[in-house]
Structure 1
Amino acid sequence: MYAKFSTLLNRKLVICGLTGSSLLLSSSPALAHHPFGDKAPANVFEGFLSGLGHPVIGPDHLAFVIAVGFVAVVFQRGLLIPVSFVVASLVGTIVHLLNVDLPAPEFFISASVLLFGLLLALKNSLPSGVVIALAAVAGLFHGYAYGEAVVGSEMFPLLAYLVGFTTIQMAIAIGVYLTVERMGGSREQQTMNLRFAGFTLAGIGVAFLSGVVLN
């Protein structure tokens, strides 16, 4: 009886962690990619706040950062997964600012949520190195989208923006990782909870991907 209650409780905690992402499905795409509307940050304060806001109010970005935290629990050297994603997102932003085009970024961002959800849901046995590389590829596209919000910004607001989105992404991903690690319960219960989270994230990814394809 206690084991069943613990499993249900842990699943409710997982649901709470994902609810914000699913509710944001109805958010305005323009707002999700521009914390200050269409205005580039004009100073360090705006740059930092914009960096903090972009991954959070962008539902596709938020869902993937949460997914990265969950996936980090499953694989060996798991914390390298969010690290590789965040570092690559910095590179992706720079790529955008250098006017280098990446193909279909919104498609690949939505697909990344679906892919990492499936990695959890289907207990994929890919080597951790492959997952780290996939996180890095996803980071390039997420970072490329982040770059749109700071086109035309001066150096210091831009640097503050980079610090902001690096900080918030690492905080969310590591926070999810530590929360799952400290939930307790048996390994089987943890596996079930993670698979449940994976199916939820995969469903969110399908919704995002459908919106991109049908628009």
Structure 2
Amino acid sequence: MIYKHSKSTKFRAENQFKTIKATVIFTCASLIFFSTVESAIAHHPMGGITPANFWEGLLSGMGHPIIGIDHLAFVVAVGLIAATIPNGILILASFLATAMLGTGIHLLSIDLPLTEIAIAFSVVVFGVMLAFKQKLNTLLLIIFAGIAGIFHGYAYGEAIIGAEMTPLLAYLIGFTAIQLFIALLAMKFTELVSNYWQNQFLALIRFLGLAISAIGVVFFTNAIL
């Protein structure tokens, strides 16, 4: 009886993992498909209209990292990597802080060249690091995430140029909060998979890394061409 129960539990776990894997494959395939669409629309959650009040600023800020597939892919990658190394939360903190700095740089009308290329490159690099995971240096990851955050934040700044202080602050709160939520969700997902499907964990993380890097390659190609 114990053997049958153990075998049944293992069978259910394998079926659950297959369901998760199928869902991940479908989601990643959809993201890659939609990332081929003109990426410029991702930088205008309000349709190009500058937010005029707190709620518009908040919703615009929350929308940008979600409808910007390249931004979304990078935030997910940050969360996945942060969950697999000691003090990984510092990588997320570095990205969030410098993203706000990058928005400020844009609002000060300071030109940051090759922004789209840098964003796409950051997605590719973090995806590759997930797919071919070696022993990653936390300090280097913090620095790289910080540099990437400046470029991602600079792109976010495009949608808030000309706004008053209230919607501007709401915009900063919005995109910081949603990115924190997405990254923490990715970290929780990693924790659950590693606990319940240990044998398949590395394979799934590697697949996610390849999918994220594929999204980055699409955007990198679009940025160059």
TM-score, length-normalised on structure 1?
A: 0.91
Q: Which residue of 1 aligns with 2:219?
A: 208
Whole-Å separation in 2 of the counterparts to 1:198 and 1:136: 20
Q: Which residue of 2 aligns with 1:119?
A: 129
Whole-Å separation in 1 of the counterparts to 2:34 and 2:98: 25
Shift of 1:22: 2.1
Identity percentage of aligned residues: 44
Choose from 162, 174, 192 the match for 2:203. Answer: 192
Choose from 42, 46, 61 the match for 2:52. Answer: 42
Range with bigger deviation, 16-25 or 195-204: 16-25
Shift of 1:201: 1.0
Q: Which runs of 5+ in 2 are unaligned?
A: 1-9
Choose from 170, 173, 180 the match for 2:183. Answer: 173
Range with bigger deviation, 138-147 or 174-183: 174-183
Whole-Å separation in 2 of the counterparts to 1:20 and 1:76: 32
SS in 2 for 1:182: helix
Q: Which residue of 2 aligns with 1:145?
A: 155
How many residues matched?
Answer: 214
The within-5 A match list for 1:1-215 is 2=11, 5=15, 7-15=17-25, 18-19=28-29, 21-183=31-193, 184-185=195-196, 187-214=198-225
Q: Deviations over 1:154-198 (max 9, x none)?
A: 000000000000010000010111012112335442122111111
Would you say the 8 A contact 2:39–2:68 is kept in 1? yes
Whole-Å separation in 1 of the counterparts to 2:85 and 2:217: 24
Q: Which runs of 5+ in 1 are unaligned?
A: none
Whole-Å separation in 1 of the counterparts to 2:55 and 2:72: 22
Whole-Å separation in 2 of the counterparts to 1:72 and 1:20: 24
Would you say the 8 A contact 1:64–1:113 is kept in 2? yes
Q: What's the RMSD between the two structures over aligned residues?
A: 1.9
Whole-Å separation in 2 of the counterparts to 1:34 and 1:118: 28
SS in 1 for 2:46: coil
Q: Deviations over 1:67-119 (max 9, x none)?
A: 11111122211122222111110010001111111120000000011000000
SS in 2 for 1:35: coil
Whole-Å separation in 1 of the counterparts to 2:190 and 2:84: 10
Letter in 2 for 1:108: A
Letter in 1 for 2:219: F
Would you say the 8 A contact 1:89–1:139 is kept in 2? yes
Shift of 1:19: 4.6
